[in-house]
Amino acid sequence: MDNITNRSLHRDIAYFYVGLIIAFSFSGIILNHRQDWYPMDYTYESQDFVLEMPDNEDELSEDYISEETAALGTYDGHRIRDGKLRIYFKGNAILDVDATTGIGSIEYKRKVPLLGHTMFLHKSTNNFWIWYSDIFGVAMLVIAITGLLIPVGGNGFSKRGWKLAIAGMVIPILFLIFFS
């Protein structure tokens, strides 16, 4: 491929995917810091709630939880971690209660406009979206490769570009060696 073809391919694919590049960039940064700040959704209403806990922990089944919380919404799963029972409902409601006493609260949530939606795209497991994201990943490789091949002369890949490319790969490699 000649330089004009590389430049055209690079430009046109980047134009097509610019919105997704921006969305994934924002949501990726946010997901990296989700322990400190997680703006996918926000609580718009919260209520105290007491869940009648069964006498025997083995009786705490999906059917039991679904029956006991039917007035709150449609049951969508639960987990127990560190003595806390978290129950999820369709429509972004979450009930957190003490796994022993059943005392807690339910929060009703909404997606944060724009940021919450970009994070949804980043985390989606929808089959269509997975394929579309895979195609986007291939497009990002094409953008990266054609971007390497566009500059010529003293700033080209064969002169100094390969040194910068290797330097940029060293940090992730060192991270994988020492922290994975």
**Domain check: are 106 and 118 in the same one?**
no
Taking the CA atoms of residue 25, residue 26, residue 28 and residue 30 in that order, the dihedral angle to the nearest 10 degrees is: 160
* Gap between the Cα atoms of 34 and 47, Å rounded: 25
pLDDT of residue 4: 84
Residue 179 located in a structural domain = no
Residues 119 and 29: beta-carbon distance below 8 Å: no
The interaxial angle of helices 3-32 and 115-123, nearest 10 deg, is 110
**Domain check: are 51 and 105 in the same one?**
yes
Residue 62 located in a structural domain = yes
* Gap between the Cα atoms of 171 and 180, Å rounded: 13
**Domain check: are 32 and 121 in the same one?**
yes
**Domain check: are 12 and 62 in the same one?**
no
pLDDT of residue 123: 86
Cα 45 to Cα 38, 39, 53, 55, 92: the distances in Å are: 18, 16, 24, 30, 11
- Give residue 46's domain range: 41-111
Whole-angstrom distance between the N-terminal and C-terminal Cα of the chain?
38
**Domain check: are 26 and 88 in the same one?**
no
pLDDT of residue 95: 96
For 31-90, what is each residue's pLDDT tens digit? Answer: 888 888 778 888 999 999 999 998 887 788 899 999 999 999 999 999 999 989 999 999
More confident residue, 32 or 138: 138
**Residue 158 pLDDT > 90, yes or no?**
no
pLDDT of residue 171: 92
Residue 84 located in a structural domain = yes
Residues 160 and 154: beta-carbon distance below 8 Å: yes
Q: Which of the four pLDDT bands, split at 50, 70 and 90, describes residue 151?
A: confident
pLDDT of residue 102: 93
Residue 104 located in a structural domain = yes
Give phi and psi for 93, each to the nearest 5.
-115, 140
Boundary of a domain, candidates 54, 85, 111: 111
**Domain check: are 94 and 8 in the same one?**
no
**Residue 136 pLDDT > 80, yes or no?**
yes
Residue 161 located in a structural domain = no
pLDDT of residue 58: 78
Give residue 55's Cα distance to chain centre.
Answer: 38
Most confident of 4-8, 86-90, 118-122, 147-151: 86-90
In 17-131, DSSP assigns E strands to 41-50, 75-81, 84-89, 93-98, 103-111
**Domain check: are 45 and 96 in the same one?**
yes
Q: Which residues pair with 42 in a beta bridge?
A: 110
**Domain check: are 31 and 120 in the same one?**
yes
**Domain check: are 102 and 82 in the same one?**
yes
Our count of domains for the chain comes to: 2
**Domain check: are 104 and 59 in the same one?**
yes
* Gap between the Cα atoms of 132 and 126, Å rounded: 10
**Residue 98 pLDDT > 90, yes or no?**
yes
Residue 169 located in a structural domain = no
